[in-house]
Chain A
Amino acid sequence: MTDLVFENVRLIDPEAGTEAPGRLLVRDGHIAGRDKAGAEGKPENAEIIDGAGAVLSPGLIDMRVAIGEPGFEYRETIASCARAAVSGGVTTIAALPNSKPAIDEPALVRLLRSRGEEMGLVTILPYGALTKGCNGEEMAELGMLREAGAVAFTDGIRAIADTKRMRQLLAYAKGIDALVVQHPEDPSLAKGGAATAGALATRMGLPQIPAAAEAILIARDLRLAEMTGARLHFGHVSTGEGLALIRQAKAKGQAITCDTAPPYFALNEEAIGAFRTYAKLSPPLRCEEDRLAVCAALADGTIDAIASDHAPWDADDKRLPFAQASAGGTGLTTLLGVGLSLVHDRHLTLPQLIALMTSRPASLLGSDAGTLNDGASADLCLFDPDAEWVVEAGSQPGRAQNTPFDGRRLKGRVRGTWKAGRQVYDGSPA
């Protein structure tokens, strides 16, 4: 493999929280050194990539991605998901277990891992099902799933409803030091709902889910985590009240973490106006006050990671009356572009944002990706933080097109993505 030298780039070191102009050398698929701008000399026969002042960061780690394969290939396959990922600078994805069959057998964990390796576009880190079939009842074989390569355990899009079962799951997970990821929404309050309770949903005549459904479940689970000492992570947290509880638990020293997704800091419930089903998400989009609370929690460190919450659906799943349409939106391609709005709006510095999408989720999932340190796999994302583009459903890379950001102008565009030193995306539209 020819050596690669990235020149004229701004290097982001997410762990150190720094950003500096410089060069990066890649040898045999691994990062082999960095130096500051103006340094001379380079290896013979090296391929030079001129970044033209763009930013070079570790490839992004997206810790919440639903794929569709196995079982729902009409929505998205592993291959189409990988294409969407690299177009967004994402080189590692953590895959939710809500496939068909659910990822509740060690062989299925190995299948996902090896399909990722075969394609060579993204590393797939599978979540293991927390309960068999992700049905919230019988405990899955957490120990054996972990031995097969499951990075954490969750029922994905479903919360564990039963309090006693959740307690037992956390206790068992604690025994094998595994991370449990919970969808923070009280299932009985959420059942049948399509939009956050409030004036808008009332006016639209939609079945409602109170925003407190999130805080109610988080409060219960924080208490259970305290009883059991387990490591607990809440996915796609979206309300100020839920975040306040997590902030409090962290202050007490509990091993609690959480992530949020771009829709929850970049959109509010107004996006569902005119019954736009692409903006029907789970949890539902919240009021403006909650959106601002998510921005504040990102800024103060309460939120540990930003994940796309990529949820592919076919057009037919969305071309339905709002309450009947499937909930969820794609997010891999737009993750970085929407994320950068936090930097442009000065909620975060650029290295802070990149850390939330690289080193922070890497440490939660026990992955060694997400760094520019020597010896790391050369998973890289080259992007121009100021280049503007318009998101268009229908012309997105990958099979699923149900983006809640359809029509939005984003500032920040991926110019190229490298996986283990090999270019897997060249910045061109799909």
Chain B
Amino acid sequence: MAETLTRRHHLLGLEGMSAAEITPFLDLAANYALLSRSRTGPRDALRGRTVINMFFEDSTRTRTSFELAGKRLGADVINMTVATSSVNKGETLLDTAATLNAMRCDLLVVRHGQSGAPALLAQKVEASVVNAGDGMHEHPTQALLDALTIKRHLGTLSGLTVAICGDVGHSRVARSNIHLLTAMGSKVRLVGPPTLVPAAMASLGDVSIHHDMESGLRDADVVMTLRLQRERMGAGLVPSAREFFRFYGVDSRRLALAKPGALVMHPGPMNRGVEIASDVADSAQSVIQEQVEMGVAVRMAVLDRLSRMRTAS
């Protein structure tokens, strides 16, 4: 929430944030992207600060990205992987907050399987909390890095049509992207079977729902695919990987319906041949590797800005 961001110096989500609030993150991240490429680090913006990466869910790529971002800014970065099998998670979480306060941590990066867990921590810790993905709720740094990647290629974030395809209903990436892209003035299409794209998703803003890829991808500027978890098959939401690919996979034939040169994106890790065809993932239109690169720059910008806001208040 914007309020949470400005008064309490957390980044818990992008819902409710305006273009004016989002843009400074993107501008700063664009700078960091250039600096990272020219290898002119490490800088010292976060020297003397402690960043704790607390991951209640495994995620090598996001954790590494935050770790690198903190280190490039000169922070002391600690990784904590927390077992999720604890009996009473609520109690554990609050106990953890007390521990962190005692350690005088400045920035706390949290990934948790439960929606709202970072918000709960944020109420109790003195550090600034960055949501690194909570349940099916939000993944704000992913949406920021997606936005930065789009802006670098298309020059703008307004007036675009972005198709988000696949397992939208369970996706925190999709939700954060919807909030960001609609705030910036773009149109979002959610594309997939009704079992994965429930009608209620339409309530998230200026979004339209498409149950066939043809209408969903037609004339899109950006085609974003999401990972289809295996467990969606067991849960009876999708009959099989091959049927999913046949009807909802992004292949070159369907991509051809989008605008010429439309960007292909994926938050990773990909299931090739399930939600995306290999040739599309590796095509010239794919910016999937660049998303990973922008991830570090965006996380540098987020850590830097939150740290400065703390100092200022």
Contact = CB atoms under 8 A, between A and B. Distances in A.
Interface string A123-142: 00000000010000111111
B194 A172 contact: yes
A142 B246 CA distance: 11
Given A174-B211, A176-B247, A139 B194 contact: no
Contacts of A168: 195, 235-237
A176 B240 CA distance: 15
A175 B211 contact: yes
B236 A141 contact: no
Interface in A96-145: 132, 137-144
A342 B104 CA distance: 85
B279 interface: no
B89 interface: no
B245 to A, nearest CB: 11
A209 interface: no
B243 interface: yes
B295 interface: no
Nearest to A165: B236
Contact of A143 (B195, B233, B235, B247): B247
A386 to B, nearest CB: 50
A12 interface: no
A169 interface: yes
B137 to A, nearest CB: 22
A65 interface: no
A22 to B, nearest CB: 45
Interface string B230-243: 00011111111011
Given A172-B195, A174-B194, A175-B195, A139 B239 contact: yes
B243 A144 contact: yes
Contact of B193 (A137, A144, A171, A229): A171
A171 B247 CA distance: 15
Chain B interface, DSSP helix/strand/loop, else mixed: loop
Contacts of A176: 193, 211, 247
A171 B232 CA distance: 14
B236 A169 contact: yes
Interface residues of A, number: 20
B237 A172 contact: yes
A139 B233 CA distance: 8
Nearest to B199: A229
Contacts of A141: 239-240, 242-243
A141 B243 CA distance: 6
Nearest to A170: B194
Interface string A174-192: 1110000000000000000
A142 B247 CA distance: 11
A228 interface: yes
Nearest to B247: A143
A139 B212 CA distance: 19
Nearest to A139: B239
B274 to A, nearest CB: 14
Contacts of B246: 143-144
Contacts of A132: 239
B233 to A, nearest CB: 8
A153 to B, nearest CB: 11
Contacts of A165: 236
Nearest to A143: B247
Given A175-B211, A176-B247, A142 B195 contact: no
A144 B240 CA distance: 10
B246 to A, nearest CB: 6
Contacts of B235: 168
A139 B238 contact: yes
B284 to A, nearest CB: 30
Contacts of B242: 141, 144
Nearest to A167: B195
Contacts of B233: 138
B236 A139 contact: yes
A137 B194 contact: no
A141 B242 CA distance: 9
B214 to A, nearest CB: 13
A143 B243 contact: yes
A186 to B, nearest CB: 20
Nearest to A104: B239
Nearest to B240: A141
Contact of A138 (B194, B236, B247): B236
Contacts of B243: 141-144
Interface string B32-69: 00000000000000000000000000000000000000
Contacts of B238: 139, 172
A242 B234 CA distance: 32
Nearest to A147: B246
A168 B243 CA distance: 16
Nearest to B237: A168
A228 B211 CA distance: 13
Contacts of B194: 171-172, 174-175, 228
A140 B211 CA distance: 18
Contact of A175 (B193, B234, B236, B240): B193
Contacts of A144: 242-243, 246
Given A171-B193, A175-B194, A142 B236 contact: no
Nearest to A142: B239
Interface in B226-276: 233-240, 242-243, 246-247
Given A174-B211, A176-B247, A140 B239 contact: yes
Interface string A2-45: 00000000000000000000000000000000000000000000
Interface of B: 193-195, 198-199, 211-212, 233-240, 242-243, 246-247
Interface of A: 132, 137-144, 164-165, 168-169, 171-172, 174-176, 228-229
6 contacts: A137-B236, A138-B236, A141-B240, A143-B247, A175-B194, A176-B247
Given A168-B236, A171-B198, A175-B211, 5 more contacts: A138-B239, A140-B239, A141-B239, A143-B243, A176-B211
What are the nearest 3 A-B pairs in CB distance? A171-B194, A175-B193, A175-B211
